[in-house]
Structure 1
């Protein structure tokens, strides 16, 4: 819009329910308020209010625009605040939930670094492969894999290109070989894990526009991703893990990434999720930037990936 003041006048008029009340609240003349609304309606090409001599009410289009308008003004206010506070010392509490494996083996040192940079911050960390309820539990932010099932949640990309991969220890591959086809996975000891009430024993793979689902089984199952990773490192079987979760194991050679004829898992992005846009404070923005930087640094260490091509 050409004038943010027009948006503010529109929102205030909708809240007050009259032009004169808006004028008094914003210390403007009724004529200025009326001209502002007419200008906004002309620019949008829609009728925002239905007016009578005694009342004013929003049209259906006006109600839709009001929701977007409030969100836009909130974003502008946050941006203005961030410009004035970006150099200020961050303080407060970060209430964060994260998956078990990612939290213990990747996130913890990143959090330590972030708190060393901002020593007045406090962190309350919850690690579990069961997803925290951001509406009822004392959690403001959550690191989650995959697209949020609740479209009302705000999702900030941290590792948008992350994918699940097949992996096993060098000892397991040496003793048991590696699958040469996806169907051969059914002949291997597969380490299955899940979350909430779901245990993932059906593994999906994609190649171009083709997809295949394999039913796998093994003698070890767990709903804690860190345990599954430790079993894989110990040579107990083949796991399907987020490449980000096992990055250090791949880099050091404790695990080998198995590639079967070009098939790969579906993209499994990592997002920083919150319930409301008002929670996107300067602290959250700084934390997001810190995570993005650390993820990029970690993935750059891969170099030529250690993949057992079959």
Structure 2
């Protein structure tokens, strides 16, 4: 039994006119007439008594009308429930993220996402070593820097993010602030190590205007969050991703040094092995990160 046949019958009964029902449903008179005839043949009864001037329900039509209305209402409710279900976000979001950004920026955003979508589960892996998405139990990874593996899908989240120099007010009160890049060599610089490489050569600018300086300090760590914590504690000067320290700078816990310098690029990307992994939870996360990271970047540029 076709839904459009039921719809035509109900509308014709309500309007008292087959032609009016046909116009409402954008059908030709011939199609409307064939639709009603098909329904009556399936039921084996006459539903509407028609003449050239009027139309009325037969006794059988009156009895069937309520059932037809209920059936259409039930189908519409089913459609609504399905549509609502498609709006729900469920399942498990498996992702890895850099330690500092993950702990201090991403965590509260994930809390908001789960509050809005209580059926969503999150499995978060934190660490600064690049996650091997082909081996690690993560569907997506948030990574700083240009993608190194061309076999991965890379979606930019904050391509204009850069590193900035920063230190705590307490450190600056004791040691003063460097006025030029060369003076960084005279300060205790907090160093970050990735793998076997210690990032002790800090670069600024681009192309012909690029300048660099080799720095040193009394501590280094392979966890970027530890470097940030040392900076907050007044242990020295850090060269950090703006996204990692933006909240600290806004709150006055850290001060930008030589803000006129253009630090090294630190683009944030969302990485996955295949676009099939970009389901609704990932799309929601991606949209949230793009909007919020851009808002944080505008505070630096502004």
With normalisation by structure 1, the TM-score equals 0.67
Coordinate RMSD, CA, aligned: 2.0
Relative to its length, the structure with more helix (as a share) is 2
| Equivalent in the alignment of 2:283 | 285
1:6-60 CA-to-partner distances (Å, cap 9, x unmatched) read xxxxxxxxxxxxxxxxxxxxxxxxxxxxxxxxxxxxxxxxxxxxxxxxxxxxxxx
Q: Does the residue aligned with 1:122 lie in a helix, a strand or coil?
A: strand
Unaligned stretches of 5+ residues in structure 2: 1-82
Distance 1:85 1:192, change over 3 A: farther
Q: Is the contact between residue 242 and residue 297 of structure 2 (CA under 8 Å) also seen in structure 1?
A: no
Distance 1:204 1:147, change over 3 A: same
Q: How far is 1:124 from its partner?
A: 0.7
Q: Where do 1:178-257 residues align within 5 Å?
A: 178-206=177-205, 209-257=208-256
Alpha-carbon distance in structure 1 between the residues aligned to 2:145 and 2:95 = 17
Alpha-carbon distance in structure 1 between the residues aligned to 2:247 and 2:191 = 21
Q: How far is 1:155 from its partner?
A: 1.1
1:234-293 CA-to-partner distances (Å, cap 9, x unmatched) read 111000000110011000110001117x43212211011111121112221111112122
Superposed structure 1 runs of 4+ greater than 6 Å apart: none
Alpha-carbon distance in structure 2 between the residues aligned to 1:235 and 1:303 = 22
Alpha-carbon distance in structure 2 between the residues aligned to 1:85 and 1:157 = 30
Q: Does the residue aligned with 2:130 lie in a helix, a strand or coil?
A: coil
The number of residue pairs the alignment matches comes to 220
Alpha-carbon distance in structure 2 between the residues aligned to 1:303 and 1:190 = 22
Distance 1:296 1:137, change over 3 A: same
| Equivalent in the alignment of 1:156 | 155
Alpha-carbon distance in structure 2 between the residues aligned to 1:268 and 1:304 = 15
Unaligned stretches of 5+ residues in structure 1: 1-83, 306-310
Q: Does the residue aligned with 1:217 lie in a helix, a strand or coil?
A: coil
| Equivalent in the alignment of 1:71 | none
Q: Is the contact between residue 158 and residue 293 of structure 2 (CA under 8 Å) also seen in structure 1?
A: yes
Q: Is the contact between residue 129 and residue 196 of structure 1 (CA under 8 Å) also seen in structure 2?
A: no
Larger Rg: 2
Q: Does the residue aligned with 1:294 lie in a helix, a strand or coil?
A: helix
With normalisation by structure 2, the TM-score equals 0.69
